[in-house]
Structure 1
Amino acid sequence: MRHAVREWLGRYAPDGVVAVALSGGADSVALTAAACAEADVVDALTVDHGLQPGSAEVAAAAAALASRLGCRSARVLTVVVERAGQGLDTADRNSDIGPVGLSDRAGKARYPGGPEAAARRARYAALDEARQGLPVLLGHTLDDQAETVLLGLGRGSGARSIRGMPEFDAPWGRPLLGVRRSVARELCADLGITPWEDPHNSAPEFTRVRLRHEVLPLLEDVLGGGVAAALARTAAHLREDGEVLDALAGELLAVARDGDGLRIEILATAAPAVRRRVIREWLLERGAKSLTDSNLRAVEALVTRWRGQGGVAVGGSPSGTRLVAAREHGRLILGSE
């Protein structure tokens, strides 16, 4: 565990100053302990979603543990998740525990989606606001990476969805992607720490929980073991390949630009994998959200299979109107309606 954190720090945070997202669970506790042993300065950030009875006590215990492990500061960031799944607000109070001893107030923000997705967005937003310019270490392990790859395979949304989580996607760092979840539990036991067990991690209504407890064990049994590690290696290979394709797409995007649009003649001669990446990046920078493979292929058809078809809806704009990609005078354009 310490070797993994040490190597990550050497690559991405050589000054040795980081924040760590500490939930109180085994993975984040082990990560915090290893970070305190290897980094020069560690600030702990604990998000209390208020989704379960006693969550405030769990968060306070995690912050107190962070101080005992050697963190410079430990802060509890409180968010309130609406039960109906309409969204959530960040709470008006964020508390600091430890040497800093300050308190601050967060402005309210709203997040769309169901409770699980909304809680995830609120968590990352709270961490981003509180990190004070530091990279934030997350306790995702090799097992989490394998589950992510399986989810991507099941959704069938292309190589991007099965290349897993990166080691560093500023400001988010994941030093433990090569470490098994069981190692984190062993470290907690060695330190005499009983980590918090989130009941959501054993709730079968969550797809990821069923992957963890049903699908992956079955694959390990049928294929003779090593499946989680193999899935993580697959993600690493795809990420390396994807980085090359993304670089090529960036070069092509610069050439294809024509004002706010893209020149059809440039896109038409590109390799499909590069062309779709260009289209994706162009749509995202213009405000499209939650793009799917079918969205990208429908827009691509305006370039490669033009039959006079109408525009393609690609999601909402920041103003709430619908964005539509269309072909006009040899250019791809993006408008709203």
Structure 2
Amino acid sequence: MNQAFHDARRAVAQVSGPGLSLIGVSGGADSLALAIVAASLPTAFGAVIVDHGLQADSAQVAQQTAQTCRELGLAPVLVFRVSTSSDEASARAARYEQFEQALAQTGAQQLLLAHTRDDQAEQVLLGLLRGSGTRSLAGMPAERGPYRRPLLELTREQTEAICQDAAVEYWEDPSNADTSYRRNLIRHDVLPFLREQLGEHVSEALARTASLAAADAAALDLWAQEAKTAHGTKLEELARLPVAVASRVLRLAAIESGAKNVGHERTRALCALGGIGVPKSKSAGPVQLDGKISAFRRSSVIVFTSTGSTTHH
């Protein structure tokens, strides 16, 4: 087998636990390469295949992928069919719901995903376009909860080579060619242009940026958690912190109060209540947050209440 196989095998071995691990397999080159590599290890691996039903032949593709996984020696092989809209967020939510079900059903402690360096580069560019902060630029984490991404150092070209060397046919999702999706536009037009103009190292540099940003974001999140535990949302204490940390304290407090989707706009509005990094709002609130949570400035502290309730958090 080629060097990519050995690199991937070493990476998968490092994240494999003593018990059963699952692999999310779509039938594409990346996930089948991960399955091929995992099957060569002495530990136990099963496969989870989610048929989103978005193509006419999706059921056939799912069954063929399941058969390939069985032939590789993976067990159990679970196939789930879901109904979802074609947008990426809905499909992802439906997919992860099935992943959670598979973990619970099998008792597996972790599920491996086959995202590559190319996927990571695309994710960083998507974060840049959203105008998000450090956490967004950090891209996809190598591990979060039960999920592991051992192939983030490999390229898509290398996963295709692993499949070809193993004589395993992989599926090309036709929706991946549709550049009306922003990710596909980045994959087929933007990144090739950047490589042509700036050199082949572009994807590697973007992935390295993600790794560095992830470390920075983790440090800032830890600092913010410690500050919140020590002082809560007292404005006097928040004023002593760097804006990057103080804003995280408010976001953490909002989330712990039950707020959802506390993105850049809502975080900035929370900061305005206390004049943290932005001009102080003349109004003491409320700042309305998803999850029926409201934030107010009360004397020298930011408080969070459930809408229609007088309970402070």
Query: TM-score, normalised to structure 1's length?
Result: 0.84
Distance 2:303 2:147 in 1: 33
CA distance change for structure 1 residues 5 and 171 in 2, over 3 Å: closer, same or farther?
A: farther
Distance 1:183 1:49 in 2: 26
Letter in structure 2 aligned against 1:58: V
What residue is the counterpart of 2:280 in the other structure?
306
The alignment-based identity, stated in percent, is 38
| Higher relative contact order, structure no. (Cα contacts within 8 Å, ≥ 6 residues apart) | 2
Contact kept, 8 Å, 2:114 with 2:149, in 1: the verdict is: yes
Match of 1:124 among 69, 76, 96: 96
What residue is the counterpart of 2:10 in the other structure?
6
CA distance change for structure 1 residues 39 and 219 in 2, over 3 Å: closer, same or farther?
A: farther
Alignment partner of 2:88: what SS? Answer: helix
Match of 1:215 among 190, 208, 222: 190
**Correspondence 1:1-337 to 2 at 5 A:** 1-10=5-14, 12-15=15-18, 17-81=20-84, 83=85, 115-131=87-103, 132-257=107-232, 262-304=233-275, 305-311=279-285, 313-317=287-291, 322-337=292-307
Residue 223 of structure 1 and its aligned partner are, at CA, apart by 0.8
Distance 1:276 1:9 in 2: 39
Contact kept, 8 Å, 1:2 with 1:37, in 2: the verdict is: no
Distance 1:19 1:314 in 2: 40
Alignment partner of 1:287: what SS? Answer: coil
Alignment partner of 2:259: what SS? Answer: coil
Contact kept, 8 Å, 2:19 with 2:109, in 1: the verdict is: no
Structure 1 residue runs of 5 or longer lacking an equivalent are: 84-113
Distance 2:197 2:87 in 1: 35
Contact kept, 8 Å, 1:20 with 1:45, in 2: the verdict is: yes
Distance 1:119 1:175 in 2: 22
Query: TM-score, normalised to structure 2's length?
Result: 0.90
Residue 128 of structure 1 and its aligned partner are, at CA, apart by 1.0
Contact kept, 8 Å, 1:5 with 1:176, in 2: the verdict is: no
Contact kept, 8 Å, 1:22 with 1:28, in 2: the verdict is: yes
Residue 39 of structure 1 and its aligned partner are, at CA, apart by 5.0
Alignment partner of 1:43: what SS? Answer: strand
Distance 2:143 2:102 in 1: 18
Alignment partner of 1:80: what SS? Answer: coil
- 1:7-43 Cα shifts (integer Å, max 9, x gaps): 3442x43426310001111100000111111251001
Q: Which has the higher strand share?
A: 1
Distance 1:64 1:182 in 2: 24
Residue 270 of structure 1 and its aligned partner are, at CA, apart by 0.9
Structure 2 residue runs of 5 or longer lacking an equivalent are: 308-313
CA distance change for structure 1 residues 222 and 41 in 2, over 3 Å: closer, same or farther?
A: same
Contact kept, 8 Å, 1:9 with 1:16, in 2: the verdict is: no
Contact kept, 8 Å, 2:284 with 2:298, in 1: the verdict is: no
Contact kept, 8 Å, 2:12 with 2:38, in 1: the verdict is: no
Contact kept, 8 Å, 2:117 with 2:204, in 1: the verdict is: yes
Contact kept, 8 Å, 2:134 with 2:216, in 1: the verdict is: no
Distance 2:258 2:99 in 1: 24
Q: Which has the higher helix share?
A: 2
Alignment partner of 1:185: what SS? Answer: helix
Tell me the matched-pair count.
297
CA distance change for structure 1 residues 17 and 232 in 2, over 3 Å: closer, same or farther?
A: same
Distance 1:46 1:14 in 2: 21
Residue 220 of structure 1 and its aligned partner are, at CA, apart by 0.6
> Over aligned residues, Cα RMSD in angstroms?
1.7
Letter in structure 2 aligned against 1:124: Y
